[in-house]
Structure 1
Amino acid sequence: MSQDWTALGRAITDRLEEQGMTMTDLANKSGVSLTTVRELVHVLNTRKRNPRTLAALSEALSWPSDHLTKVLRGQTNAAEAPKSEITALREEVRELRNRVTALEQAGR
């Protein structure tokens, strides 16, 4: 089975940015060593990982526990990840702005 370590690193990096977390925050929240987090983010060591490591990282990033395992196996990607509450709210505000603009233009 092929493993996409680059996709895994990108998924973690994108989610950290989205949630305003650092690698240190992730290490502390997940209980995974900072060295391991860095190795995964920067694709420095592609050795087999304990499934609990990826599950802990997934959960610390507010994903289902199997999400990073699926990303690694190519069964999903970060774009298919559940949206964070902030991302969902931003999209909703954007949609509401568009509706208000359309109503304002219709009333002119």
Structure 2
Amino acid sequence: MDKAETVRKLFANYLANRKDLTDPLLTDDFTFSSPRDDHIDKAMYFERCWPQPPIFSHIVVERLFVSGDEVVVGYKGEKVAGGAFRNLELMTFQGDRIASIEVYFGRDV
């Protein structure tokens, strides 16, 4: 699976609430950062960022750029409770697995 496919799989797993399928896509020392989180580890990522029940109903990848070991993805997300937003993420890979994700929150649309 190439990097673009891995990113698309990550979003599909998120919508399907499949942490079990996502864990192998991430390195053991994976970190996640956002305006709310600073380099949290994989366990905390799953705890904080994969809420129960899921809060997003759709994620549409609008832009995806691969450059070496980095992927920039822009997407539109729709919330189960209504409303939509746009975000950008920078994902850094080690080999074929995601080593880090940095989320840059966008605006509501």
Q: Larger % of strand: which?
A: 2
Which structure has the larger Rg?
1
TM-score by shorter chain over 0.5: no
Tell me the TM-score range normalised by the shorter chain. under 0.3
Q: Larger % of helix: which?
A: 1
Q: TM-score, normalised by structure 1?
A: 0.26
